[in-house]
């Protein structure tokens, strides 16, 4: 086993460790989301069956316009948050110093997702190498096939082209 394989296996294990993946949620809820910079955000969505508030901290893949965030479902279409936003696209977003900002979640088409992924690869080649290996090891699926979502903040200060 190579070092790259070991890193991918450790990353995949971390992605499947619930307490570790959920740990940043407490920091966001305490108003400390700015510690994660602009590459992560917390998504609040509603459970499709229960209507209960649910939270997921996700990596931002692209920022195509002010108030727009592109995120990827690292566990594909079976991720609970992804299934929930299909049932109810009205969500709230925590990022930086912004807390509980209303937003609308819209799944991207294949070409839109490919363009966002290309932007990410160019902007973060080293992170891409490690993240890709970890996600593919954890899911057994090529990253290029994973669904992406645009989060569009519903705030008056965010202008759209």
- The whole-angstrom separation of Cα 115 and Cα 104 is 20
Residue 157 and residue 70 in contact, taking contact as beta carbons nearer than 8 Å: no
Q: What are the residues facing 59 on neighbouring strands?
A: 40
Whose CA is closest to 68, among 93, 97, 86?
93
Rg from Cα positions in the chain: 15
pTM as predicted: 0.79
Q: What is the pLDDT along the chain (161 residues), one digit of tens a residue?
A: 676 555 445 444 544 555 455 678 888 888 888 888 888 899 999 999 999 999 999 989 899 999 999 998 877 888 899 999 999 999 999 998 788 999 999 999 989 998 998 888 898 888 887 777 777 777 777 777 788 999 999 976 554 44
């Amino acid at each position: 086993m190579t070092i790259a394989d070991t890193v991918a296996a450790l990353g995949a294990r971390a992605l499947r460790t619930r307490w570790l993946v959920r740990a940043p949620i407490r920091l966001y809820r305490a108003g400390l989301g700015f510690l994660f910079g602009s590459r992560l955000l917390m998504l609040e969505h509603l459970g499709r069956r229960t209507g209960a508030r649910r939270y997921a901290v996700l990596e931002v893949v692209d920022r195509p316009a002010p108030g727009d965030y592109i995120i990827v479902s690292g566990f594909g279409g079976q991720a609970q948050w992804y299934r929930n936003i299909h049932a109810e696209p009205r969500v709230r977003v925590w990022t930086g110093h912004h807390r509980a900002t209303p937003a609308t979640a819209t799944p991207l088409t294949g070409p839109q997702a490919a363009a966002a992924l290309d932007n990410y690869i160019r902007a973060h080649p080293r992170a891409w190498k490690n993240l890709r290996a970890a996600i593919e090891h954890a899911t057994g699926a090529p990253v290029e096939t994973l669904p992406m979502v645009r989060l569009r903040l519903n705030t008056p200060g965010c202008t759209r082209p």
